Protein backbone atom coordinates (compact mmCIF):
# COMPACT_ATOMS: atom_id res chain seq x y z
CA UNK A 1 0.00 0.00 0.00
CA UNK A 2 1.20 3.47 -0.88
CA UNK A 3 0.30 6.36 1.46
CA UNK A 4 1.36 9.94 2.06
CA UNK A 5 1.83 9.37 5.78
CA UNK A 6 2.08 6.85 8.61
CA UNK A 7 0.68 7.72 12.00
CA UNK A 8 1.47 5.63 15.07
CA UNK A 9 -0.79 6.37 18.02
CA UNK A 10 0.97 4.91 21.04
CA UNK A 11 -0.08 4.46 24.64
CA UNK A 12 2.75 3.67 27.04
CA UNK A 13 1.80 2.21 30.43
CA UNK A 14 3.66 1.74 33.73
CA UNK A 15 6.42 4.20 32.77
CA UNK A 16 8.96 5.91 35.00
CA UNK A 17 7.02 8.74 36.73
CA UNK A 18 10.10 10.89 37.26
CA UNK A 19 10.93 10.82 33.56
CA UNK A 20 7.32 11.59 32.62
CA UNK A 21 7.32 14.67 34.86
CA UNK A 22 10.61 16.12 33.59
CA UNK A 23 10.00 18.47 30.63
CA UNK A 24 13.70 18.82 29.76
CA UNK A 25 14.20 15.05 29.75
CA UNK A 26 11.05 14.49 27.70
CA UNK A 27 12.17 17.10 25.16
CA UNK A 28 15.59 15.44 24.83
CA UNK A 29 13.98 12.00 24.40
CA UNK A 30 11.46 13.19 21.82
CA UNK A 31 14.12 15.00 19.79
CA UNK A 32 16.37 11.95 19.91
CA UNK A 33 13.44 9.74 18.85
CA UNK A 34 12.98 12.04 15.84
CA UNK A 35 16.69 11.81 14.96
CA UNK A 36 16.74 8.02 15.34
CA UNK A 37 13.71 7.71 13.05
CA UNK A 38 15.57 9.62 10.34
CA UNK A 39 13.48 12.79 10.62
CA UNK A 40 14.63 16.36 10.00
CA UNK A 41 13.89 18.43 13.12
CA UNK A 42 12.49 21.92 12.51
CA UNK A 43 11.61 22.97 16.08
CA UNK A 44 10.32 21.68 19.39
CA UNK A 45 8.13 23.10 22.14
CA UNK A 46 7.43 21.52 25.53
CA UNK A 47 5.32 22.67 28.48
CA UNK A 48 5.23 21.50 32.10
CA UNK A 49 1.91 21.45 33.96
CA UNK A 50 1.33 22.12 37.66
CA UNK A 51 1.32 19.93 39.67
CA UNK A 52 2.57 17.42 37.09
CA UNK A 53 2.56 16.37 33.46
CA UNK A 54 4.27 17.42 30.26
CA UNK A 55 2.98 18.17 26.76
CA UNK A 56 5.18 18.75 23.79
CA UNK A 57 5.72 18.51 20.09
CA UNK A 58 8.71 18.08 17.82
CA UNK A 59 7.93 19.56 14.43
CA UNK A 60 9.79 17.69 11.72
CA UNK A 61 10.01 18.36 8.00
CA UNK A 62 8.12 15.08 7.59
CA UNK A 63 5.27 16.01 10.05
CA UNK A 64 5.46 15.76 13.88
CA UNK A 65 6.03 13.77 17.07
CA UNK A 66 3.84 14.73 20.04
CA UNK A 67 3.50 13.59 23.66
CA UNK A 68 1.32 14.19 26.69
CA UNK A 69 2.22 12.60 30.02
CA UNK A 70 0.32 11.73 33.18
CA UNK A 71 3.09 10.91 35.68
CA UNK A 72 0.55 10.25 38.44
CA UNK A 73 -0.74 7.37 36.30
CA UNK A 74 2.64 6.37 34.86
CA UNK A 75 1.09 6.88 31.41
CA UNK A 76 2.09 8.68 28.20
CA UNK A 77 0.10 9.21 25.00
CA UNK A 78 2.35 9.69 21.95
CA UNK A 79 1.65 10.47 18.29
CA UNK A 80 4.36 9.67 15.77
CA UNK A 81 3.19 11.05 12.42
CA UNK A 82 5.63 10.86 9.52
CA UNK A 83 5.32 11.47 5.79
CA UNK A 84 7.39 10.03 2.97
CA UNK A 85 9.56 6.93 2.94
CA UNK A 86 12.74 8.24 4.55
CA UNK A 87 11.47 8.25 8.15
CA UNK A 88 10.59 5.15 10.20
CA UNK A 89 8.17 5.95 13.06
CA UNK A 90 8.69 2.44 14.46
CA UNK A 91 12.29 3.33 15.34
CA UNK A 92 11.00 6.30 17.36
CA UNK A 93 8.46 4.03 19.07
CA UNK A 94 11.12 1.47 20.04
CA UNK A 95 13.48 4.15 21.40
CA UNK A 96 10.76 5.80 23.51
CA UNK A 97 9.53 2.42 24.78
CA UNK A 98 12.97 1.75 26.25
CA UNK A 99 13.66 5.29 27.52
CA UNK A 100 10.26 5.70 29.21
CA UNK A 101 10.71 2.25 30.80
CA UNK A 102 7.23 1.25 29.65
CA UNK A 103 6.10 -2.12 30.92
CA UNK A 104 3.16 -2.23 28.47
CA UNK A 105 2.04 -0.43 25.35
CA UNK A 106 -0.75 -0.29 22.76
CA UNK A 107 -0.25 0.98 19.21
CA UNK A 108 -2.59 1.80 16.34
CA UNK A 109 -1.00 2.42 12.98
CA UNK A 110 -2.96 4.60 10.60
CA UNK A 111 -2.06 5.14 6.96
CA UNK A 112 -2.98 8.69 5.91
CA UNK A 113 -3.61 9.83 2.35
CA UNK A 114 -3.72 6.41 0.70
CA UNK A 115 -2.79 6.65 -2.96
CA UNK A 116 -4.50 4.83 -5.81
CA UNK A 117 -1.96 2.36 -7.20
CA UNK A 118 -2.82 3.14 -10.82
CA UNK A 119 -3.23 6.93 -10.79
CA UNK A 120 -1.07 7.93 -7.78
CA UNK A 121 -3.97 10.17 -6.70
CA UNK A 122 -5.46 10.13 -3.23
CA UNK A 123 -8.04 7.36 -3.12
CA UNK A 124 -11.58 7.83 -1.81
CA UNK A 125 -10.63 5.74 1.18
CA UNK A 126 -7.76 7.89 2.41
CA UNK A 127 -7.31 6.37 5.87
CA UNK A 128 -6.62 2.78 6.80
CA UNK A 129 -6.28 1.71 10.41
CA UNK A 130 -4.17 -1.30 11.15
CA UNK A 131 -5.04 -3.62 14.06
CA UNK A 132 -3.94 -2.66 17.57
CA UNK A 133 -0.59 -4.07 18.64
CA UNK A 134 -0.12 -4.49 22.38
CA UNK A 135 2.31 -5.91 24.88
17 carries an active-site annotation = no
Residue 15 annotated among the catalytic residues of the structure: no
Phi, psi of 42 (to 5 degrees): -100, -50
Cβ-Cβ contacts under 8 Å for 85 (sequence gap 6 or more)? none
Annotation says 68 is catalytic: yes
Which of the residues 55, 83, 126, 134 is marked catalytic? 83
The answer to whether the bond into 51 is cis (omega within 30° of 0) is yes
Q: How far apart are CA 44 and CA 12, in angstroms?
A: 21
Catalytic residue among 68, 73, 86, 134: 68
Q: 37, 63, 126, 134: which one is catalytic?
A: 63
Query: What residues are labeled active site?
Result: 63, 68, 83
Amino acid sequence: MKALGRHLMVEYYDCNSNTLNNPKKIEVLMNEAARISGATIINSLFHSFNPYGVSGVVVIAESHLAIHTWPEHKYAAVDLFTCGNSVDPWKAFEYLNVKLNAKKYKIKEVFRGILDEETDEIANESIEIMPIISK
